[in-house]
A and B are shown apart, each in its own frame.
Chain A
Amino acid sequence: MKKNWPLWEIFVRSKNGLEHRHFGSLHAADAEMAMENARDVYTRRNEGVSIWVVESKNITASNPADNGEMFEPAQDKVYRHPTFYDLPDEVKHM
């Protein structure tokens, strides 16, 4: 009964004030090992000040095949952007 180490996704905050960003993935037996491995694999040169590890199976991803219905409706909603509104030039600071 062979069990492979599960896959983990690694997110790193490169410095305080910035968000955690996806850096890549790796295999580890548990969260603790994933953290230790993430440190060695993704932050050998001061790339980060904080690490998140998330087991890959816990991520639900959108399907690119559905991109049309997911994202296209936003395209015809120009009124969500400030430039949609016509204002006279005399109006300042707006």
Chain B
Amino acid sequence: MSEKEVKNLEEVFEARIARDEKIEPKDWMPEKYRQTHIRQMSQHAHSEIVGMLPEGNWITRAPSLRRKAALLAKVQDEAGHGLYLYSACETLGISRDELYEQLHSGKAKYSSIFNYPTVTWADMGAVGWLVDGAAIINQVPLCNTSFGPYARAMVRVCKEESFHQRQGFEIMLTLCRGSEEQKAMAQDALNRWWWPSLMMLGPTDAESVHTEQSMKWKLKRKSNDELRQQFIDQTVPQADLLGITVPDPDLKWNEETGHYDFGEIDWDEFWQVVKGHGPCNKERMNARVNAWNNGEWVRDAAMAHAEKNANKKVAKAS
């Protein structure tokens, strides 16, 4: 194809997106659109999969059967969400194996929040309330994104995610209405998860390299700073309701703007964790790579079994 023809196709393509038309896997698309979507969707899928690890840790130690069933269902949902997103990503012509390889080699990223440890039961509450809360804010606009398979997967994810946040808040509420020690545990969890949750919404607009292009392709509908403000505005009253304190001395309602003002985020910490130096980066990746490697014989055996059965059927038929 000549340069001029490609440019023409690109113009038609951009116009389709501007008209809110969806792009489907077999449609022509600019290579950069394809790559950007593989990057974002796989990062999203990896986050779901790695996100199971800090919670899986607590399934056997949940304080009641009710909590255990809920946590188990939540972790199962996350596996499901990872699978929807991997499948959607594969429609762009990358294999599941390549996607795993990118995760395991460190080439692909996942949400840095999962590199923090979950040290008490209250962390299950804080993760559901704050981390899933921030994730929902990020994800809801993606239900309208331009790439069909991603949008469809996100509709399903968003439908299921709401229970995750509510069960987390319920855990926090129960602790906050409990003994002094339980309430202190909830406060401690908020102290540790508040700032990482704010960072989870991504670097400031000034630092965000992908924003402009992503806005055009509807991979993003609001900037990171807008999403962060939205998260703070809706979460602070919830903390008040719980009767615990957001660990930010600069946090203050601003009558004029109608938003909360908040303190400086420690972006050095964010970049350290992104670059692999968070408290649990190594542990998470080891758990993930071990699960994959130790499961290899099972995958091979299942394949061999399927082939044997298929051959048996052919033999019978002839």
Residues of A within 8 A of B (CB): 2-5, 7, 24-27, 29-30, 33, 40-41, 44-45, 61, 63-65
Contacts and interface: CB of A to CB of B under 8 A. Distances in A.
A26 B87 CA distance: 6
B210 interface: no
Nearest to A8: B87
B305 A24 contact: no
B273 to A, nearest CB: 30
30 contacts: A2-B300, A3-B303, A4-B95, A4-B97, A5-B302, A7-B90, A24-B87, A24-B152, A26-B87, A29-B299, A29-B305, A30-B302, A30-B305, A30-B309, A33-B306, A40-B76, A40-B80, A41-B80, A41-B83, A41-B84, A44-B73, A44-B76, A44-B77, A44-B160, A61-B26, A64-B24, A64-B26, A64-B27, A64-B28, A65-B28
A33 B76 CA distance: 18
A65 B310 CA distance: 36
A87 to B, nearest CB: 36
A30 B310 contact: yes
Contacts of B300: 2-3
Interface in B62-96: 73, 76-77, 80, 83-84, 87-88, 90, 95-96
B154 to A, nearest CB: 12
A78 B177 CA distance: 68
B232 interface: no
B303 A5 contact: yes
Contact of A29 (B84, B97, B306): B306
Where chain B touches its partner, the secondary structure class is helix
Nearest to B149: A24
Contacts of A65: 28
Contacts of B95: 4
A35 B305 CA distance: 16
B50 interface: no
- Max chain B C-beta neighbours (<10 A), residue from A5, A25, A40: A25
B153 interface: yes
B96 A29 contact: no
